[in-house]
Structure 1
Amino acid sequence: MEDVKNEQIEQETQQQEEQTDTSPESVEESQSDSKQKRKTKVDKEKESLKETVKQLQEQLAQLQSEKEAAEQEKQKQLSEKEQSLFKKEVGLELRAAGLSEFADFFSHFTTIEEVQSAIKNFNQLLNQKVMANSFVPASHKQTNAYDEAAKKGDVGKMLQAKLSGLFK
């Protein structure tokens, strides 16, 4: 009876060994299968991560372009405000100098200092023209020695006045 039991135990162990098959060949096959399974799992994770990275890079690029566009818009608005402020300053300078009707002549300047210098020069020219074209009444003419002598009819003094003008 013991023999039969021993035989049954041996058969069962053989069957178990066949099922688990721990031979070096079967171990290598099972290891390579598990390596392939791990490799495919890792590859899938890599692909998933690559896709995530790609999406994040696209979002980053989009955000950067939106930021640049916003900065350009802000810069444009700032430039427009600076130009508007400069025009107002020029207008105030011209009003202070009494030249607001000549604003078109001062529109090409880029700094207030240039405008102030141009206003100063323009005022000087304007004052020169005003003095040259000012009214001189005919009854208040300046009289010279020749005219006085001519009125009196003194020919000697008339000649003397003319000759003194030559020798000065």
Structure 2
Amino acid sequence: MSGRIILGIDPGLNTTGYGVIEVTSNKGLGQFRLCEAGIIRSKAKAPIETRLAELHEGVTEVIQLHHPDLMSLEQLFSHYERVRTSILMGHARGVICLAAATAGIPVVHYEPTRVKKVLTGNGRAPKSQMQLAVKLQLGLSTVPEPDDVADALAIALCGHHLGNQSVMDQLLKQR
């Protein structure tokens, strides 16, 4: 029995976490299966264009392997004192969105606090609580690690819980 495939991504220029889940329905309840999770790394000392190409290539490879129906991507979040980090993250998110658009995959975007609220009921939940929520919802034997992978899986789960509404909202905005 196959279901809906959701790719969750926790973007970063150095390390991008990704998680692919399959959601099937049983009497209206979503059942989850972890397909794959991991990280995409770029060479920290390489020029930015090389790092972005590596990130794009890695995300494209995951897309080609799993053919997701939806990409769930963490929204850019930064403090005003870290403007450079925001700009670099914007570049990373840009190539990730490009990979999705090239493959014809809709993308939904969630703020970190929204992901935490959906999974734990607390928008300020600590990492350990998020990891436990992901472990329980996916029926894993251990908490997912590293943090980038746990966050990506949480974003994928959020894509399931809120994805249909987010896609509809985005389609309505385009009209």
TM-score (norm 2): 0.19
| Larger fraction in strand | 2
> Taking CA–CA contacts closer than 8 Å with sequence separation of 6 or more, which of the two structures ends up with the larger relative contact order?
2
| Larger fraction in helix | 1
TM-score (norm 1): 0.20
Q: Select the structure of larger CA radius of gyration.
A: 1
